Chains A and B, each alone.
Chain A
């Protein structure tokens, strides 16, 4: 595998994680346009731990993600008061605040960036991807998953049924920022070099875009969206300079023609039934 292909596949894995991190928050009908900020916290924390303190990669990743998810809790609590557009703006402001913080924070290099984290491999990245996919797959079939669905579809009904809506919303933020933190750590240790500009609001909105265009009814939508829309710009390389224009136009068109995303819940269910039938006929 060439270095180029490997790079594309690795970034695709990180994008899948990021898309799942936004999906986790969307799961409770909240939204975040600041996940690049959580990613930055995970990236800088884990990189500082491995480079400056010599801590092995895995614990550093987890600590980075825990720090990021702690900040996620702090953002998630005031976010409970905000809905819709206000939450969009708050998370957007949060992301930019984190970015400008790292731009000026000298212990992690400030404006000149932070050099030296290494050790992410394709295997490691995809181990986390598979791990989180299994996690969401299990969550989907669990009682907890059902209650998240209820909170998203109708918080009032959910709370009359005895579900703690606030608790669900806060933990969704915790989970989302944890996954984004892991993605950030993996990213830093794959790129060997990070700078605050890597984590801007364009990235945050692109992650949201993966989920919306992939389909936000199931976590498979986030995964498929991240895969398709991280590969698409590479496929479009044959049109050279105009590639980003074309990419932008495709995204706008996709949003118009498939507003509920590529993967819908019905599609997953139908596919599942087909699989079941296939296995049944194979057995008989």
Chain B
């Protein structure tokens, strides 16, 4: 069923989009990738799981997991980015991978390395539209991601903080000369980036129903791929590329061999970087 697969792909892809946007937000500001992002995603998933076990309703769990992951994001910035302004430009790359190791270990200690099962909190209703089946979980995922992406887009374009973020990404020194508190902007950006990863974590956990402290590794990489294809620092590009990747992945599994999935994804990724580094929709950051 082609349309069914398409819908499944869009659901999966929207979680990729949320992760990719997080990378893109940070990259637009600091021209560096945060390799702990996948692990922040994992922490978000486990926070969601913990709140669900405590009997907190799903929408509230989502908000709490967002806040929790966001705080982890602020810590990443405090320890891995802010003190390294004068270090080699690869400094944050290795710091964040070390921070990721720490997060994985903390995750293992708290929640165990065995897969944890997500409790069934919401009743899954199945909607049949002709031959197509859509579950309520899928609707939640799509609605949450859509609302968040539109909200973020409006936030960056319409609000004062959003304008400060855009100014800072044009040039930190100039922005701070014009009275923007760039440290606060950077902190806030990390918070929102990590919060989106946290939501993506909870949503992914709802789909797969079981999670381990190591789920962040692949999801984090896929997020990077989506960000590159969408164009570095280009938020709308990251949204579209994430959804497309999800569709490609599901279509590949349905009509081709599942085991070649990652070769195809990373092959596309490598070709993009080498041949079309600005991505499909144009990079916001120009220096190559």
Contact = CB atoms under 8 A, between A and B. Distances in A.
Nearest to B107: A245
Contacts of A248: 98-103, 105
Contacts of B35: 205
Nearest to B103: A248
A81 B275 CA distance: 10
A193 interface: no
B266 interface: yes
B282 interface: no
Nearest to A256: B83
Nearest to A31: B90
B237 to A, nearest CB: 15
Given A94-B270, A101-B263, A86 B94 contact: no
Contacts of B274: 78, 81-82, 90
Interface in B255-276: 259-260, 262-263, 266-267, 269-270, 273-274
A89 B217 CA distance: 16
Interface stretch (A112-120, A143-151, A179-187, A207-215): A207-215
A interface SS class: helix
Nearest to A205: B97
B270 A259 contact: no
A217 to B, nearest CB: 10
A33 interface: yes
Given A97-B266, A212-B90, A86 B95 contact: no
B175 interface: no
A206 B91 CA distance: 12
B35 to A, nearest CB: 7
A201 to B, nearest CB: 7
B84 interface: yes
A41 to B, nearest CB: 15
A49 B93 CA distance: 36
Interface in A79-96: 81-86, 88-90, 92-94, 96
A230 to B, nearest CB: 14
B270 A216 contact: no
Contacts of A96: 221, 262, 266, 269
Interface in A227-284: 241-245, 247-249, 251-252, 255-256, 259-260
B94 A90 contact: no
B206 to A, nearest CB: 27
B272 to A, nearest CB: 8
Nearest to B232: A85
B94 A255 contact: yes
Contacts of A255: 80, 83-84, 87, 91, 94-95, 98
B221 A242 contact: no
Contact of A241 (B97, B109, B273): B109
B88 A100 contact: no
Contact of A209 (B86, B98, B106, B288): B98
Nearest to B88: A212
A259 B99 contact: no
Interface in B68-115: 79-80, 83-84, 86-91, 93-95, 97-106, 108-109
A198 interface: no
Nearest to A207: B94
A202 B217 contact: yes
Given A83-B288, A86-B288, A100-B263, A244 B104 contact: yes
B137 interface: no
Given A202-B97, A216-B88, A252 B33 contact: no
B162 interface: no
A103 interface: yes
Interface in B91-147: 91, 93-95, 97-106, 108-109
Given A84-B31, A93-B273, A259-B91, A245 B105 contact: yes
Given A84-B288, A88-B33, A255-B98, 19 more contacts: A81-B274, A81-B288, A84-B89, A84-B287, A85-B27, A85-B32, A93-B269, A97-B270, A103-B262, A111-B259, A212-B90, A212-B94, A241-B109, A244-B101, A244-B105, A248-B100, A249-B102, A252-B98, A260-B88
20 contacts: A84-B287, A85-B27, A86-B273, A88-B93, A93-B266, A96-B221, A97-B269, A104-B260, A202-B97, A206-B97, A209-B94, A212-B91, A245-B101, A245-B109, A248-B101, A248-B105, A252-B102, A255-B80, A255-B94, A256-B79
